[in-house]
Amino acid sequence: MAGRQMQCRVLILGAGAAGMMAAAHAGPDVIVVDHAKSPGEKIRISGGGRCNFTNLEIEPHKFLSQNPHFCKSALSRYTQWDFVELVSRHGISWHEKTLGQLFCDEKATQIVAMLRAEMEKAGARLWLQTQVQEVTHADGRFRVRLDRDGQTVEVVSPVLVLATGGKSIPKMGATGLAYDVARQFGHQMVETRPALVPFTFDGQPFAPLAGVSVPARVSAGGTSFDEALLFTHRGLSGPSVLQISSYWREGENVCVDLLPGTDLAAVLKAKRQEAGRRALSTELSALLPSKLVGFLPLEEPASINLADLSDKRIDALADRLHRWLLKPTGTEGYRTAEVTLGGISTEGLDSKTLMSKHLPGLYTIGEAVDVTGWLGGYNFQWAWSSGVAAGQAI
C-alpha cells in the first residue's frame, strides 16, 4: 500500500453525538475520523439551533427496537441526569420546554464545544474531512484505509467503533457506512426506514390549511400521541405526526382525533338545549380554527342550526371529528426525517458494552443501531448512553 501506516488503540468512525461521547470515555490513544468539515453537525442544527439534548422522562418503552429490552442497560448506566450534570458542569444553561424536553438556553453549538472539550481532555485526536475507503480485519486488528487531504493513511487498531449514524438527511453527510461495515463482519440488519418524518398525500389536499396547527391525538399501529398537528402544503407534520410516523406503515390509515379530551357530542347536545338557533359552524369554530372547520368533511351544512340536528346526526358528526381517518401516500423520506428506524440488529450486540458478539473489538453505537427514540431528546440520550457504554468498556 502506498501511503503512511499508523497504529492506535481505538479508532472511532463518526464524530457525531455518539462518537464524540465514546471518545471522551475510551481512555488514551483514540482517533476519531469524520468526513465532514466539523464534528456534531446534527447537534448544531438540532432543536431549532438549541439542541433538545435529553428528556427528563427517559423510559425504555419510548425507544423502538426489535428487542425492546436492549436499550435498558446503557440508558440506566448513563442517565439523563448524568448528561444534565455534564452540561451544567460546563456552565451551559438550559430549560425544560415541554414534556420533559431539555434545551440549551443559548445555542446548540455549546453542546458541540462541550463534547470537543471532553474529547480533548481525554486526549482523543479528531481527523475531519477524512474519507473511509476500506475496512478489513485480520489477526485481531482492524485495518482502515483512509484518505486525508488526498493522502492515503492506513490506521491499524484492535478496536473499531462504528458511530456514523443513520441515513437521515443525506445532504448533511449521512451515509450507510456503519451498516455496510457491520454487514461485512456478519451482522444482521433490521430493515431501515425514515422516522420522525412528515406525511405526504397525493394532490396536496391540505395545502389550503398550510400553517394551521391544532392539538390532536394521532393514532396508528396501536399507539397514540397527543401533541400538536400541523397542516402543510405537502401533508401533515407537527410533533404528534412525527411521533406516529415511527409506528405507521405504508397503506395504513392514520386516525386523527381533532378534539382529544372533549366529548364533542355531549358539548353539541348541551348547546342545542341552551342555544338551539346557533349555527353548527359557529359552535365548532369556538373549538377549532375556523379555517379548519370550513375545510372539514362534516356531511352537514355548516349553517345548520343545532336545534335541527338529531342526536344521531350529532353522534355521527362527533365521531367524524374524533376519528378522522386519513391515508398518507408516504413520508417525506430521509430528506427530512430526524432519524432512521431499524439498523444494525441488536441480536449480534452485547447490551452492556455495545460490542459485537461475533467479532471482539468491534463496537456499534448511536443511531446506526436498531434503537430509535421518540421525538423529544430521546435520540440524543441514546447516543450519549450507548457512547459511554462502549467508551467505558473499551
Residues that bind ligand FDA (CB under 6 A): 13-19, 34-36, 41-42, 45-47, 51-52, 132, 163-165, 168-169, 173-175, 177, 338-339, 366-368, 377-380, 383
Q: Which residue is nearest to ligand FDA (CB)?
A: 16
Task: Choose between 285 and 336: whose C-beta lies nearer to ligand FDA.
Answer: 336
Task: Choose between 14 and 328: whose C-beta lies nearer to ligand FDA.
Answer: 14
Cβ count within 10 A of residue 105: 10
Task: Choose between 292 and 375: whose C-beta lies nearer to ligand FDA.
Answer: 375
Task: Choose between 206 and 382: whose C-beta lies nearer to ligand FDA.
Answer: 382
Eight-class DSSP state of 31: E
**What span, in angstroms and rounded, lies between the C-alpha atoms of 362 and 159?**
6
Name, in order, each residue with C-beta under 8 angstroms of 176's C-beta and a sequence gap of 6 or more. 167
Contact 53, 103 (CB under 8 A): yes
Task: Choose between 219 and 340: whose C-beta lies nearer to ligand FDA.
Answer: 340
Instruction: Compute the least distance from the CB of residue 104 to ligand FDA, in Å.
Output: 10
Counting every residue, how long is the chain? Answer: 394
User: Cα-flanking dihedrals φ and ψ of residue 223, to 5°?
Assistant: -130, 150
Contact 243, 198 (CB under 8 A): no
Q: Does residue 300 sit in helix, strand or coil?
A: coil
Instruction: Compute the least distance from the CB of residue 31 to ligand FDA, in Å.
Output: 12
Instruction: Compute the least distance from the CB of residue 93 to ligand FDA, in Å.
Output: 17
Instruction: Compute the least distance from the CB of residue 98 to ligand FDA, in Å.
Output: 13
List the one residue out of 115, 114, 55 whose CA is nearest residue 80: 55
Name, in order, each residue with C-beta under 8 angstroms of 282's C-beta and a sequence gap of 6 or more. none
Instruction: Compute the least distance from the CB of residue 252 to ligand FDA, in Å.
Output: 24
Task: Choose between 35 and 187: whose C-beta lies nearer to ligand FDA.
Answer: 35
**What span, in angstroms and rounded, lies between the C-alpha atoms of 238 and 327?**
17
Instruction: Compute the least distance from the CB of residue 4 to ligand FDA, in Å.
Output: 19
